[in-house]
Amino acid sequence: MKALLQGLNINEKFTNVSREKRSFNTIKHNIPLIANYNYMADLLFLPTASFGYKYLLVMVDLATDEFDIEQI
């Protein structure tokens, strides 16, 4: 392989791509964490069932990580 690279005048240093692990900001880093003040909510879609509920509303308190789930 080295002979091939030397014959083609390819510098191996520039052909290897190094991937650096990136750190992304999360929502918790961008808002003040005050209990019972900042919430995150999402809907979970349920499969069709005989009990009739189609969705779950999930709310999370971002400061304490406590959550509540209500059927809709």
Distances (CA, A) of 6 to 13, 18, 66: 13, 22, 61
Ranking 41-45, 56-60, 65-69 by mean pLDDT, the lowest is: 65-69
Q: Has residue 27 got a pLDDT over 80? A: no
Tokens of 22: 């990136």
In this prediction the pTM is: 0.53
Q: Report whether pLDDT(10) > 70.
A: no
Q: State the Cα angle at 61 between 59 and 66, rounded to 5°.
A: 85
* Percent of the chain at pLDDT exceeding 70: 76
Q: What is the percentage of the chain residues whose pLDDT exceeds 90?
A: 10
Q: Which domain holds residue 50?
A: 2-71
Total domains in the chain come to 1
